[in-house]
């Protein structure tokens, strides 16, 4: 009679799966709460403590850490191993069903104290998974309730095959690796959280068709970016990068915001005080309609019918929003090639804490740039101080500037010149250039006549006054930049000569 050892924290689908094991003639060992749950379901269970002859101790901290258990799992299936186990009164264990204490869910709860978090660090479960996964040549390990169905189905079709055992072993090792990484990074945030993920899906290709690519997620079975695809074909590698950039930017605004991203560069950002994102979306697209063609759109409010109509004839690859109204879904369904990604409630500013990039021989990891640190104060350095209206526009431009590629120059203005309270939008963006004056000229060129009366945000200081002079010539009236160049004085002189107000923020926002 084959033997299964069952010890789980998440009991989803367990009773049904154990019932199918019982029908197939398996003997089942179970520990602690798992044994109680299965016994209550009317299933024949032998408690681990009865099988080993050793009681659970230390309040349940030690249940399965016993040679009768691990010897049974690690037996290689040889006559010698079986004889040794039999001499001790033990048997081989053929199937291990185990998932781990919810450590990550515990540390994510607001106010969880350290002692409670430590208690959720699983020891015996990890040991069971590793032992069973190591011995995948003979033993099947199941760490995910989503696999119960196919494992149960295989019982009646000749048994669990070697291919499935190997696949499930990989899954168990990956779970242990990610679990340990979560613990280590909780104890030391510099360790490297986010370096281990769950295989989400293989992508059609990477940035180019000759490159292979995969999506990994923070949670098993999670959708792209934690959202849910409602419509459209499979998201590509490039779509996911653009969606991430657009969604992070939109979610960072408190007011209603819309963002258009193309090739990881924002080509329009707008925010309004209204509940519907329609006006913000129109303004964001208007910033650079040519670049917006084939771009990715994100808004931080429910996408309604007015927003769907605001897209006009613009071709968009993807739309991300917390939700989509039925009316918007009906209108967007006509756009067969547009993917819709429902993100759920807007994430908190701390939803994503770090970003990681690979380099030759290693990787880089840094905290996410969320804008100016708390308490940052701007300093007026020009003879003329910005007006209240200019200052409000500068604060919008400065916040939007964080998401643009360096060297980044953003020109912004009120959406409605007669009513500054209606919101603000970028009117020209220059980014990703190897020098700042080219970015300034590009931003001014894209803004055209809208540059007159606009304000400018620069993600880093001006090494020379040429960018300030180009901005003033285009009609910019106020500038915000970090300051810190040895030639700051020359930039201030250029601003004063043109009557441009200038503030220094003291914070740089490079994005390479």
Query: Catalytic residue numbers?
Result: 134, 263
Please give the Cα distance from 397 to 249 (Å, whole number): 12
Q: What is the dihedral of CA 324, 328, 329, 334, to 10 degrees?
A: -150
Q: Are 455 and 444 in contact (CB under 8 A)?
A: no
Strand-pair category, 501-504 with 478-481: parallel
User: ∠ CA(371), CA(374), CA(379), 5° rounding?
Assistant: 85
* DSSP H or E stretch at residue 7: strand 3-7
200 secondary structure, DSSP code: E
Sign of the dihedral through C-alpha 181, 183, 184, 187: positive
DSSP letters spanning 239-280: HHHHHHHHHHHHHT-SSEEEEEEETTEEEEEEEESSSSSHHH
**DSSP readout, 413-460?**
EESSTT-GGGEEEEEEEE-S-SSHHHHHHHHHHHHGGGGTT-EEEESS
- Cα torsion through 481, 447, 314, 272, rounded to 10: 50
Q: What is the Cα gyration radius of the chain?
A: 29
**For residues 246 and 320, is the Cβ–Cβ distance under 8 A?**
yes
Q: Which H or E run contains 150?
A: helix 148-155
Residue 449 CA to residue 165 CA, distance in Å, equals 66
Q: What are phi and psi of 105, to 5 degrees?
A: -65, -35
Burial class (CB in 10 A: 0-12, 13-18, 19+), 58: exposed
Q: Is 168 helix (H, G, I), strand (E, B) or coil?
A: helix
């Amino acid at each position: 009679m084959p033997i299964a050892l069952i010890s789980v924290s998440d009991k989803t689908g367990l009773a049904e799966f154990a019932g199918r094991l019982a029908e197939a003639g398996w003997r089942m060992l179970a520990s602690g709460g798992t044994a109680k749950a299965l016994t209550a379901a009317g299933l024949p269970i032998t408690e681990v403590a009865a099988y080993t002859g050793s009681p659970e101790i230390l309040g349940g901290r030690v249940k399965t850490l016993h040679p009768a258990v691990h010897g049974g799992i690690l037996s290689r299936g040889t006559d010698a191993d079986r004889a040794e186990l039999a001499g001790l009164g033990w048997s081989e264990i053929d199937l291990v069903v185990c998932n781990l204490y919810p450590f990550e869910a515990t540390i994510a709860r607001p106010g969880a104290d350290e002692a409670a978090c430590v208690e959720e660090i699983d020891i015996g479960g990890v040991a069971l998974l590793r032992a069973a996964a190591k011995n995948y040549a003979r033993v099947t390990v199941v760490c995910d309730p989503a696999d119960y169905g196919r494992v149960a189905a295989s019982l009646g079709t000749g048994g669990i095959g070697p291919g499935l055992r190997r696949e499930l072993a990989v899954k168990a090792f990956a779970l242990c690796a990610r679990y340990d990484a979560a613990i280590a990074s909780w104890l030391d945030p510099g360790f490297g959280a986010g370096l281990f993920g769950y295989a989400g899906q293989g992508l059609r290709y990477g940035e180019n068709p000759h490159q292979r690519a995969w999506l990994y997620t923070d949670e098993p079975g999670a959708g792209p970016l934690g959202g849910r695809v409602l419509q459209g074909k499979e998201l590509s590698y490039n779509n996911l990068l653009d969606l991430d950039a657009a969604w992070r930017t939109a979610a960072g605004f408190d007011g209603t915001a819309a963002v258009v991203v193309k090739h990881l560069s924002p080509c329009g950002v707008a925010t309004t005080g209204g509940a519907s994102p329609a006006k913000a979306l129109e303004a964001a697209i208007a910033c650079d309609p040519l670049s917006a063609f084939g771009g990715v759109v994100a808004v931080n409010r429910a996408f309604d019918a007015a927003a769907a109509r605001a897209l006009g004839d613009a071709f968009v690859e993807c739309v991300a929003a917390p939700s989509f109204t039925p009316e918007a879904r009906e209108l967007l369904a006509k756009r067969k090639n547009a993917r819709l990604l429902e993100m759920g409630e807007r994430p908190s500013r701390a939803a994503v804490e770090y970003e990681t990039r690979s380099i030759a021989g290693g990787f880089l990891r840094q905290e996410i740039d969320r804008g100016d640190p708390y308490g940052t104060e701007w300093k007026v350095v020009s003879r003329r101080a910005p007006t209240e209206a200019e200052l409000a526009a500068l604060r919008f431009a400065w916040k939007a500037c964080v998401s643009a590629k360096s060297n980044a120059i953003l020109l912004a203005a009120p959406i409605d010149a007669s009513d500054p309270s209606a919101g603000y939008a970028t009117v020209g963006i220059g980014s990703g250039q190897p020098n700042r004056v080219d970015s300034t000229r590009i931003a001014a060129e894209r803004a055209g006549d809208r540059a007159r009366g606009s304000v400018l945000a620069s993600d880093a200081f001006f090494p020379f006054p040429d960018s300030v002079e180009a901005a003033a010539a285009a009609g910019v009236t106020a500038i915000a930049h970090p300051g810190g160049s040895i030639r700051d004085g020359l930039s201030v002189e250029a601003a004063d000569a043109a009557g441009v107000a200038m503030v220094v923020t003291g914070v740089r926002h490079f994005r390479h």
